[in-house]
Structure 1
Amino acid sequence: MTCKVVVLISGSGSNLQALIDSLQADSPAQISAVISNRADAFGLQRAAKAGITTQVLDHKAFADREAFDGALIEAIDAYQADLVILAGFMRILTLGFVTHYTGRLLNIHPSLLPKYKGLHTHQRALEAGDTEHGCSVHFVTEELDGGPLVVQAVVPVMADDTADTLAERVHAAEHQIYPLAMHWFAQGRLQLDERGCQLDGQLLPASGQVIRTF
């Protein structure tokens, strides 16, 4: 059975490209559409090149956040999405949107949550003197960057790292674990219920599945 995926983007779409590249002929995941709130998002070109339907929904055309999110729900549901993936979608989502997609809305964040929610995560990790950093895939809830964790990738922090070099290492890890989470969901292996995240019927720890890249 095919799992229909809709990916939301605002920018270059490097994680979108990783998702596209991970699709095989026998994959249960199918990216049905890519929707952007910005017409100039390069990710739209990536999707079009892969033969994926694209759509632009300009948030500036709506009176408020609720109106935009309502239109976005209509757009996503028109594709009968089983899973919605946020891949650099630079919008804070309303509670109504998040609730509508409870258990089928994934995000990726460039830190080892619950550390460094929000922005500038790489610089904050360096300033804290961390020896390890990474990224996290999580189900989205009303708490910003606070939903149940699915999988985390841990990368080393080198003595000579800058925020940019550390970001490159984290991005490479993102491109590994986001497709992994999408395929787990599409295969019916990943689920969220009132107890938390389950993989293959087993409750995941609070940190999710942890993958070390070194």
Structure 2
Amino acid sequence: MLTVAVLISGAGSNLRALLDTTADDDFPARVIVVGGDREADGFQHAEDFNIPTMLVPWREYDSREEWGAELGEQLAVWRPDLVVLSGLMRLLPAPLVDAWSPRIINTHPAYLPEFPGAHGVRDALAAGVAQTGASVIIVDNGVDSGPILAQERVPVLPGDDEHSLHDRIKPVERRLLIDVVRRIATGELDLAAVRDARTPRPTD
């Protein structure tokens, strides 16, 4: 059984979908802890499913590195097999990413490498593209630049605004995330192999 820690900053809609799915005895993964960088509405989902929570408030630390070190210590207590970023609005510091790589994954509301960053939906609309998408990636030390585990196109419809487009992307994100977690749990998806395929090899 794959054990999963989920980190949030907000409402946690992806978290809710994951909790609903992993509550099924036949699903090969379980969420064992939900953490966040601030008090967030999404913690209610954890409470609904009797999942423990941990809070590492961003504002209580002098630097991203200090915050990341404490978050890493908290995660180490739970020893999850996988860490899922579910709307966590903080870049993880490199030592934390390196310590857990490749076992940290994230979703993004765009068809990466198109429109990385915090405003992927808004940027797609501003670019006037006919389609965008959703992606699930391994987290690396860049901004939405890690190896892609799954992605799917989503059309941009006439009259779309940021809210309506994002509302259509979110269900795709959730479905992709749940499938990726399932594939990791069953061994169909080898995160280390995916990461290493992207790692530059030294030349002779």
Question: Sequence identity, in percent?
Answer: 35
Instruction: Please tell me the residue identity of whatever aligns with 2:172.
Output: A
What does 1:6-85 correspond to in 2, within 5 Å? 6-23=5-22, 24-39=24-39, 41-85=40-84
Work out whether residues 3 and 82 of structure 1, in 8 Å CA contact, stay in contact via their aligned partners in 2.
Answer: yes
Whose strand fraction is larger, Structure 1's or Structure 2's?
Answer: 1
Any idea what the Cα deviations from partners look like across 1:101-134, whole Å, max 9, x if unmatched? 1111001111100001112222221222211111
Structure 1: unaligned runs, 5 residues or longer: 205-214
Tell me if 1:94 matches 2:93.
Answer: yes
Any idea what the Cα deviations from partners look like across 1:49-87, whole Å, max 9, x if unmatched? 011111111121222111111111111111111000000
Any idea what the Cα deviations from partners look like across 1:169-189, whole Å, max 9, x if unmatched? 011211211111111111122
What does 1:42-191 correspond to in 2, within 5 Å? 42-191=41-190
State the partner residue of 2:202. Answer: none
Any idea what the Cα deviations from partners look like across 1:23-50, whole Å, max 9, x if unmatched? 11122201000001112x0110111101
Which secondary structure state, in structure 1, belongs to the residue aligned with residue 153 of structure 2? strand
Output the CA distance in 2 between the equivalents of 1:197 and 1:37: 26
Instruction: Please tell me the residue identity of whatever aligns with 2:25.
Output: A
Work out whether residues 102 and 195 of structure 2, in 8 Å CA contact, stay in contact via their aligned partners in 1.
Answer: no
- TM-score norm. by structure 2 comes to 0.91
Work out whether residues 184 and 191 of structure 2, in 8 Å CA contact, stay in contact via their aligned partners in 1.
Answer: no
Whose helix fraction is larger, Structure 1's or Structure 2's?
Answer: 2
> When the two structures are aligned, how many residues end up with a matched partner?
197
User: How far did 1:4 drift?
Assistant: 0.9
State the partner residue of 1:196. Answer: 194
Structure 2: unaligned runs, 5 residues or longer: 199-204
Instruction: Please tell me the residue identity of whatever aligns with 2:51.
Output: I
